[in-house]
A = this chain, B = another copy of it.
Amino acid sequence: MRGEAMTAGLRPAVLIGRKRDGGTLTEAELSAMVHGYLGGDVSEGQMAALLMAGVLRGFTDDEAVALTRILTDSGETLDLSGLSGPTVDKHSTGGVADGTTLLVAPLLAACGAQLVKLSGRGLGHTGGTLDKLEAIPGMRVDLAESELLGIAERVGCVVAAQTDRLVPADRALYALRDVTGTVASTALIASSVMSKKLAAGAETIVLDVKTGDGAFMATLPEAVDLAELCVDIGVREGRRCVALVTAMDQPLGRGVGNGLEVVEAVELLQDGPRGRLADVAMELAVEALASASDLGRDVARSRLERAWKDGEALARLQRMIEAQGGDPRVCEDPRAHLPAAPVTMPAPSPAAGTIAAIPARAVGEIAAALGAGRATKQDTVDPSVGIELAVEVGTEVERGQPLGLVHARSEADAARAAETLGEVVEVGAAPPPASTVLHRVGR
Residues in chain A within 8 A of chain B (CB atoms): 1-10, 12-13, 16-17, 19-20, 43-53, 55-57, 93-94, 120, 122-126, 128, 174, 176, 178-184, 189, 192-193, 216, 361, 365, 374-377
A9 to chain B, nearest CB (A): 7
Distance A31 CA – B125 CA, assembled complex (angstroms): 31
Query: Given contacts A9-B375, A17-B181, A56-B56, are A2 and B47 in contact (CB under 8 A)?
Result: no
A424 to chain B, nearest CB (A): 15
Distance A417 CA – B7 CA, assembled complex (angstroms): 22
Q: Chain B residues with Cβ under 8 A from A20's Cβ?
A: 52, 55-56, 181-182, 184
A contact face: mostly helix, strand, loop, or mixed: helix
Copies of this chain assembled into the complex: 2
List 29 A–B pairs whose Cβ atoms lie within 8 Å, in order of A's numbering: A1-B93, A2-B94, A2-B122, A2-B123, A2-B124, A2-B126, A3-B123, A3-B124, A3-B178, A4-B183, A5-B125, A6-B374, A6-B376, A10-B179, A16-B181, A17-B181, A20-B52, A20-B182, A43-B44, A44-B45, A45-B45, A45-B47, A46-B180, A48-B48, A49-B181, A49-B182, A52-B52, A52-B53, A52-B56
Distance A245 CA – B128 CA, assembled complex (angstroms): 59
Query: Given contacts A13-B181, A48-B45, are A6 and B124 in contact (CB under 8 A)?
Result: yes
A443 to chain B, nearest CB (A): 23
A137 to chain B, nearest CB (A): 25
Q: Chain B residues with Cβ under 8 A from A17's Cβ?
A: 181
Which of the listed residues A7, A176, A189, A375 has the most CB atoms from chain B within 10 Å of its own CB? A7
A239 to chain B, nearest CB (A): 20
Distance A8 CA – B8 CA, assembled complex (angstroms): 35
Q: Chain B residues with Cβ under 8 A from A12's Cβ?
A: 179
CB of A1 within 8 A of CB of B49, answer no
Kindly identify which residue among B13, B56, B123 contacts A180, using a CB–CB cutoff of 8 Å.
B13
Considering only CB atoms, which chain B residue lies closest to A42 in the complex?
A: B179
CB of A4 within 8 A of CB of B216, answer yes
Distance A116 CA – B16 CA, assembled complex (angstroms): 37
CB of B124 within 8 A of CB of A5, answer yes
CB of A5 within 8 A of CB of B181, answer no
Q: Chain B residues with Cβ under 8 A from A93's Cβ?
A: 1
A197 to chain B, nearest CB (A): 13
CB of A179 within 8 A of CB of B128, answer no
CB of B120 within 8 A of CB of A189, answer no
CB of B46 within 8 A of CB of A179, answer yes
Give the 7 A-B residue pairs with the shortest CB-CB distance, closest first. A5-B124, A16-B181, A45-B48, A49-B180, A52-B52, A44-B45, A17-B181
Which of the listed residues A9, A48, A120 has the most CB atoms from chain B within 10 Å of its own CB? A48
Considering only CB atoms, which chain B residue lies closest to A210 in the complex?
A: B1
User: 18 new A-B pairs (CB below 8 Å) besides A4-B216, A48-B49, A48-B52?
Assistant: A1-B183, A2-B123, A2-B124, A3-B123, A4-B183, A4-B184, A7-B179, A10-B179, A13-B178, A13-B180, A17-B181, A20-B56, A43-B44, A44-B48, A45-B45, A45-B180, A49-B180, A52-B52
